[in-house]
Amino acid sequence: MIFIFAVFLLTMLVITAVAIVRAEDLFVAVMLTSIFSLLMAANFFILDAADVALTEAAVGAGVTTVIFLCALSLTGDREKPRQGPRWVAIGTVGVLALLIIYATFDKPRLGDPDAPVHQHIAPWYIEKTTEYMDFPNVVTAILSSFRGYDTLGEVLVVFAACIGVLFILGVSPPRKTQQVTTKNSGLRHHLIPQVVGRLLIPFIVLFGLYVQFHGEYGPGGGFQAGAIIATGVILYALLEGEANALRAIPRGVLLGMVVGGALLFGGVGVVCMLMGGAFLEYSVLTADPVFGQQLGILIIEAGVGMAVCGALLSIFHAFAARESLS
Amino acid sequence: MNLLELLGYFNYWVFAIILTIGLYAIIIKTNLIKKLIGLSIFQSAVFLMYITMDKVEGGTAPIIQAGVEDQIFSNPLPQVLILTAIVVGVSTLALGLAMVVRISECYDTIEENEILDAD
């Protein structure tokens, strides 16, 4: 039964992708991207990746759409129709698709337990998680401890991208005349979004905090929680106007969260070194190595959550502030 | 090969088709935002391929339940890779969009051919 549902979802995914590329109105295309992400999240969930589904739903369907819409309001939302033949491109990608499909017949079938990917190091991770960390979520264990270096790298990439966006959008726009624009008051005059949004925001943030601190026991962790909390605050900014959101959480605090989160992660690694272990070897943090691992993971997950939430909100505010300038 | 075995490859076919749809948008669209949308479709296709590889028949999400013996878990490693890649993806996408916004402010257009003509 679930199999038929998966085939249905995947077919919808292809149809949505075609519709996105064909849409000439960019606003429609962005909205379809949101639906595409939601379908993708449902697919991830069917394929047993609960953590990934949570992230894709919060980031893909929430934050990405808002950032796209902010950019659209600055650049215009009509795409000019293209002249000239397109059969060369269609032919090229068609041949490429056929080649990839031909290559898939050499791949192991979906769900094959003997596939090479399941033979290498993954069983070791699943086996050792209880022994080293003594908590159930293997994904969190790998993310924050077994492969902590990777995660530190990813956090630094998010940090760098955020700084890049702030620098690019920080310069004043080269407009000839500075028009006085009306103050953006959000959706305050619309009753239904106002009432529903107001009701939802506390629960979104509460759920984000739950996902943050329950990440060792259920699906969740810093990346998901940061994205969910950012979604809640962005919803507040859309409802109440951007100025009010900035009054609630000022820019300085957001930047502090990005920098502080990345520093917290790195700092835990350095503390581990000072206490005689290797970089990010949390076992040395306390006398009991299992508790040390749990403590280290709790702290670095908090750092990841802060960094991701701060980065996404800084990016959103950078785009939104641009809007009121031009 | 019976039908059910063939359907085991369906996820990979969808991966191939979505991947090439994204690539097509990157090649043929002149609108820079549409190119970025194509790039994110391409990226999602790669995510789908990784997550497809993690599935184990009869398996469940890799969260160990106390007191339950002989559980089969899906592979957690691709999930970790893609989980972080999604968040990094949105940050780099925002960087791309920021550049597009700056381009549109300088050239008053985001159509690639018009920008090339203006130069």
pLDDT tens-digit map of A133-158: 888 888 888 888 888 898 999 999 99
Taking CB atoms and an 8 Å cutoff, what residues of chain B touch A76? Answer: 104, 110
**Closest chain A C-alpha to B56 CA, distance in angstroms:** 4
> What ipTM was assigned to the predicted interfaces of this complex?
0.93
Residue A323 has pLDDT above 70, yes or no: no
A231 contact partners, CB below 8 Å, separation of at least 6: A58, A62, A63, A204, A208
Report the pLDDT value the prediction gives residue B2, as an integer from 0 to 100.
61
Q: Is the pLDDT of residue A82 over 80?
A: no
- Among partner residues A107, A111, A130, which is closest to B55 by beta-carbon distance? A111
Task: Give the whole-angstrom CA distance, residue B4 versus residue A179.
Answer: 63
d(CA A68, CA A56): 16
Q: What are A188-241's pLDDT values in tens digits?
A: 677 888 888 889 999 999 999 999 988 888 888 889 999 999 999 999 998 888
pLDDT band at A261 (very low <50, low <70, confident <90, very high): very high
B107 contact A CB<8A: no
Measuring CA to CA, which residue among A82, A88, A35, A30 is closest to residue A61? A35
Q: What is the dihedral of CA A169, A175, A180, A183, to 10 degrees?
A: -20
Is B55 within 8 Å of A110 when comparing Cβ atoms? yes
Q: B117 in helix, strand or coil? A: helix
Please indicate whether, in this complex, the C-beta atoms of A219 and B63 are within 8 angstroms of each other.
yes
Verify whether the Cβ–Cβ distance A80 to B31 is below 8 Å: yes
A139:B76 CB<8 A: yes
Strands (E), A156-311: none
- Angstrom distance (rounded) from CA A29 to CA B9: 29
Chain A 76-95, residues with CB within 8 Å of chain B CB atoms: 76, 79-80, 82, 86, 89-90, 92-94
B2 in contact with chain A, both atoms CB, cutoff 8 A = no
pLDDT in tens, chain B (119 residues): 566 667 778 889 999 999 999 999 999 888 999 999 999 999 999 999 999 888 888 888 888 887 777 788 888 899 999 998 999 999 999 999 999 999 988 888 888 888 888 88
CB distance A43–B91 less than 8 Å?
no
Q: Is A318 on the interface with B (CB under 8 A)?
A: yes
Is A72 in Cβ contact with B33 (below 8 Å)?
yes
C-alpha B60/C-alpha B69 separation (Å) is 13
pLDDT value of position A228: 93
Six-digit token string for A253: 């605090």
Which residues of A fall within a CB distance of 8 Å from B89? 59
Q: Which residue of B has its CA nearest to A15?
A: B18
> Residue B10: its pLDDT value, please?
87
Chain A 165-184, residues with CB within 8 Å of chain B CB atoms: 165, 168-169, 171, 173-175
Range with lowest mean pLDDT among A92-106, A226-240, A272-286: A272-286
Q: Which residue has the higher pLDDT, A98 or B67?
A: A98
pLDDT digits (tens, 9 = 90+) for A11-34: 999 999 999 999 889 999 999 999
pTM value is 0.90
| Chain A CB contacts of B8 below 8 Å | 109-112
With 0-12 / 13-18 / 19 or more C-beta atoms within 10 angstroms meaning exposed / middle / buried, residue B99 is: middle
Give pLDDT, residue A185. Answer: 61
